[in-house]
Chain A
Amino acid sequence: GGSDASSGGGDTDSESGSDTTVAAAAGNDMPAPFDEGPVKIAIVQNSGAGDYFQQWTAGANLQADLIGFEVQIFDAQADNAKQATDMETAIGLGVAGIIVDHGQTDTMCPLINDAIEKGIKVVIYDIAIAECAPDAVETSQSDADLATLVLTQMAADVGKDVSVGYVNVLGIAPLDRRHVIWDEMVTANNWSQDFFVGEFTNSVATDNARLVDAALRANTGVSAIFAPYDEFTKGTVSAIEQSNLQDSIRAYGIDISNADIEIMTKDGSPWVATATTDPNAIGAGVVRTMALELAGEQDSRTVQFPGVLVTQDFLRENSITNMDDLRVSLPALNLTDTSSADWIPSLEFK
C-alpha cells in the first residue's frame, strides 16, 4: 500500500514514473477557492495496498500538486471500521473536500452525509451511494464497460457452448457490477460455468491459486476462465501453470499493472486479455472532479471513466514491458478529457 501522500506525491511513486508531462498548461486565473492559497482536502481510502491502489494514489497526488491541493491521506488497510474512524477524523479536520476511495455503502453513507451537512464537498470513487447520498459526486471506472470489453474478446476467442470457469467474490461493488455482465454473457454465449470459486483474503493471489488449482482438478475440459480482478487473475494463472494446462486454458482478467504485464507477456502465458483503465489517470481524474466540484463547475452527480482492452498480442507486438510503455502505446488511457477544464492542468502519464 502506498499512502505516501504527505511525502508530496509522485516523487516516491514508482509506477507512474517521474516523467509526466503537463498537457494543458495551468490556466492563469484559477476560480475560487483556488485563487487564494492551497486548498486542503482529504482522501479516505479503504485500502491503499496493492498495485492498483498504489498507482491510483500516485496519480491523485500528482494531479493534486498541480492544482494546488494540500492532501491528507487516510488508509484503512481494508478495515471498514477503521475507515469509518478515519472519515470522522477527516471531517473533524475541517478540510474543504473529502475523496472517499472505496468502502462499504452502509458504513460510509451516513458519514458522507455528515460531511456534506458540514459544507464539505464529497467525491467518492467506486462505492454505490447514489440513493443514500445523492449530493455526493459518484465517480467510477465503468465496470460494465470493462467486463463487456474483455468478455467480448473472450467470446471471440473461445466461441459459444464451451465450458468456462469463473473466479470472483460477490458483495464488493465493482466486482458485483462485473458479475452482472458475466451472467449476461454466459447466457448469451450458452457457456457452461463449470466452477465459481474465489475468496477475498489478505493474500488474494496465493489463496485463490489454491482454490482454482483444486477446481481445475475437479473440472477438466474448461477452455477459459474469467477472473475479473487482476489479483484473482494472477492466482488463476499460477494455478493453470501449476497444473500445466497453459495450452488448453485461456485466462481473462480485468485491471493491469507492471507485474500483470510481466505475467501476460511471459512465454506461454495463459492470460490472453485484460480490460483496464490506467489507475494513475483515474486517480488524477477523481481529483480533477473534486476541483470542479469545489469550483462549483461539477453539475452531474456521476462521472464514469471508460476502459480499454489490452490483449497479450498487443503487448507482445509493441514489446511492452511495463505501464509506461503501455501508456505510450495507448494514449486513451490518460482520460485527459474526462472531468477536465481549461484552468485545470491535466496530466499525461508516459
Chain B
Amino acid sequence: MTSMFELRDITKSFGTNQVLRGVDLDFEPGRVTALLGANGAGKSTVIKVLSGVHEYGGTISLDGAPITVDSPGTARRLGIEAVHQKISDGVIPGLSVAANLLFDEIVTNETSRFASSRSLLPKAKEMASILDLGWTDAQFKGDVDDLLLADQQLLLLARALVRKPRLLILDEPTSALSKAEADRLFEVIEQLTEAGVGVFYVSHRLREIDRIADELVVLRDGQIRGRYEPPFEWSSALDDMLGQTRAETEERNDEMQGTSDVLALQGVQLLPKADPLHVTFRAGEVTGVFGLLGAGKTELASGMFGAAPFKVGAMTLNDSPYSPRSPSAAIKAEVFMVPEDRAAGTLVGDWSIARTSSLPFLSAVSSLGVLNAKSEHDVGEDVIKSFGVVANSAKDPVIALSGGNQQKVVVGRWLKEQPAVMILDEPFQGVDIGARHDLVVRVREVAKAGSAVILMSSDLEEIMQAADRVLVLVDGEIQHDTYLSQTSREEILDSLVTS
C-alpha cells in the first residue's frame, strides 16, 4: 500500500553545504511521526522542503501520485500546514491578534475581501478557543506584538490546528510553552489524529515524543539513521542521533553549595501585582530559577542585568550597592547575561563567529581602540573548540548555523571570562541533548571557578540537570528555595500549584 505522503531521496544543499542527503519519509493519516536529531541535523530543513519554502531534489508523492511542492501556497493547497521553529517567521507585528489568527484565511480569500477588522473577531475567538486561549476582546483587537512569546507561539499553533490539514508539521512547538500549555496542545493533537490528520512532530524533548509519537525517526547529518516503534529504545535512538557518542543520563552526584553571597536583591518587585522579593545568589553554585512562562523570569534576569531596571527595590553586589541603569553598567560590574530571544537579542546580521564572540569584550582584542584581527579570531576559535560548535572556522556567519549551534556561540562568548554573576535566560531553547550537555558542563565549571550562575528555565529537566539550588518563581514571587539534594521533582511541581 502507498502512504499519504511519501518523500523519496530528498536532497538539499545550501551553497556547498549539503544538508539533506537522500531522506526517505512516509506519513500516514492519523499517525504522529516524531523526528529526532542533533542541532544541525537538518530537521527544520526537511520541514521547509515539505512546506514549499526550499527547492529540493528527490520526489514527493501524495497518495502515490508524484507532486511538486514549489511554494508555501502549493503546500497549503495540498493540505500541508507547518508551524515553523522561529516564532518570528509566523506572527505579523502591526496586525491585530485577530488578523494574525485569520491571516491564512485572509490570504486564501476564505474571509471576505472587504472584511472589516470588527467582522474578523468572532471567527478569531472561535479559533483561539481550540487551545482555550482566554484572551480579552482588547487583546484580540490589539497588536500581536503585545503578546508574550508563549502566547504568540500558541497563536501560531491555533492558526495551523484549525485548518485540519492532511499533514500537520510542528517544529519544536513546545520550546516556548509551559507544561500545562504543552499538555493542552497534545490533547488537541490527539483529537486531530483521531480525525485522520497526519502529524510530523520535531522536538528535543524525549518525554513529549514518548507521549504522543506513533513512530520515531532519527536524523543525523541529513540522513535517516533509525526508525522506531513505541515503546522507543531511547539509548539506541540517542546513539543514532549523536553518532558514536553516548549522552549520559546518569544520576548527578556533583552538587556544589556556594558559601559567599555575591548578588542580593532586597524588596524587588518583578510584576506589577507581585509582593516584593528578597533573595541572595551565591558564588560557586548554579541557581536554577524555575517558572512557567510569564512567571517573571525575564523580568528578574533583565532587571539584574540593567536591561530593564527594577522600578521597585534595591540590589547589592559583593556588599556594595548595585543598581545598573544599562547592560554596559552591569557588564562593567562583571554581571553578564545571555538573553532569552536569540535572534533579536544576540545575532548581528551576517557576522562571523569571531566577531559575534568578541563584541562584548572589544577592548580585550584592541589596543588604543585599534582592533587586532588575530586575537579576535582566536576568541572565536576558542568558543568553537570549548563548546564543540559545528562550523568550518571562526569566519563562518553565526546566522548560517543551526539553532543549537548558534546558542552555543552566544552562551560561549560570555563564559570565556570569569564573571561575578552569569545570568542565562532559557539558554537551552532548541538545544539538543549533546549540545546541552556541553553547555551544562561549562556552566558548572564557571560556577565551580567562583561565579554565581543564575539559570532561568521553564523546563524542569534542564534545571534538574544543570542546577544545584532551585528557586521556583510563580507570578513574580518565590514559592520555593532549596538545594536539589533536599527536594524532589514532585515537591517542586507541587510548589507551582500550591500558590
Chains A and B touch (C-beta atoms under 8 A apart): no
A: which residues have CB within 8 A of B? none
